[in-house]
Structure 1
Amino acid sequence: MLYLCIVNQTASQNAEEFGFHAGDIVQQWLWDDDVDDSICTKIEDLTGEDLVDEDYGTAVDGVVIWWRDGDDEDTLADTIVDATTMLEDNGPVWVLAPKPGRPGAASSSTVQSAAKTAGMNAATPLTVSKDWNGIRLRAFGKGR
């Protein structure tokens, strides 16, 4: 049992729950000064690549969108569509939002609604750091 706890802790510390792999190019959208840089570092350590911004003009293997309450839901849907345009082979797409009770905390129903508008399903939020939750998006009909 102790071994399983160590494995789960290691997976979380290495950002493996995002579904990214070594060599993946991950694009982040809506980055701002309030993001949790430790999440960025964990993804970069896992992939061995620097995160690229929304101006990156080549195909990417995964996407992270930083979302905060007060941002327009339609803008989130548009951002999801724009971000997935550059995505290779249905790679992982994540919306990261501040946890409830934190400044900028966004309702998961807002993210779910925007995802649906963009043609995606939104999973149950997952804690990805002390202050941020992540919601994985998948195209309709693409499994769990």
Structure 2
Amino acid sequence: MSATADPADKSNPANKLGFEPGQIVQELGYDEDTDQDLREGIEEITGEELVDEDYDDVADAVLLWHREEDGDLTDALVDAQEYLADGGLIWLLTPKKGRDGHVEAHEVAEAAQTAGLSQTSSITVAKDWAGTRLATPKAAKSGRR
């Protein structure tokens, strides 16, 4: 894995997420349906392996895979903030419309607002997954990616 991944490399799906070399990304909600190319792309950009829920330090960002059947999204977002460094971001990844486990956009917006997060963008990140960038109040004010 190279910490000098080329951001112009269109073959890396993680380039859209704005990660930088050296960042620690904590992954929550991993399951057999998660997109391996995206996961590997993040590791290529950051030069660091993704850490899981057992990581005992703060992370620069949280990658939260969430499906409709995974339970309460608001609770998951509140819990995810516990792992973040000040100004950190959460990338909420949900199955695209028409896929099993799809979460409606209004549900994402409502859960984010209730959890005290600002929804800053939504993008397609993989064949079956959509990504929603959620900022903590401190990150939203600073414009940090």
* More strand per residue: 2
1:11 CA displacement: 5.4
Q: What is residue 61 of structure 1 aligned with on the other side?
A: 60
* TM-score, reference length from structure 1: 0.83
Q: 25-34 vs 89-98, which deviates more?
A: 89-98
Question: How many residue pairs align between the two structures?
Answer: 136
What SS does the corresponding residue of 1:91 show, helix, strand or coil? strand
Instruction: Give the direction of change, closer, same or farther, for the CA distance of 1:81–1:11 in structure 2 (3 Å limit).
Output: farther
Q: What is residue 4 of structure 1 aligned with on the other side?
A: none
Q: What is residue 25 of structure 2 aligned with on the other side?
A: 26
Q: What is residue 106 of structure 2 aligned with on the other side?
A: 109
Q: Deviation per CA, 1:43-97, whole angstroms, max 9, x where unpaired?
A: 000001110111211111111100112333xx32222122212211312211001
* TM-score, reference length from structure 2: 0.83
Do residues 76 (structure 1) and 68 (structure 2) align? no
Q: How does 1:122-133 map to 2 (within 5 A)?
A: 122-133=119-130
What SS does the corresponding residue of 1:15 show, helix, strand or coil? helix
Mind listing any 5+ residue stretches in structure 2 that lack a counterpart?
Answer: 1-5
1:136 CA displacement: 0.4
Percentage of pairs with the same residue: 41
Q: What is residue 3 of structure 1 aligned with on the other side?
A: none
1:42 CA displacement: 0.5
1:9 CA displacement: 6.0
Q: For the Cα contact (< 8 Å) 1:115–1:137, is it kept in 2?
A: yes
1:16 CA displacement: 2.8
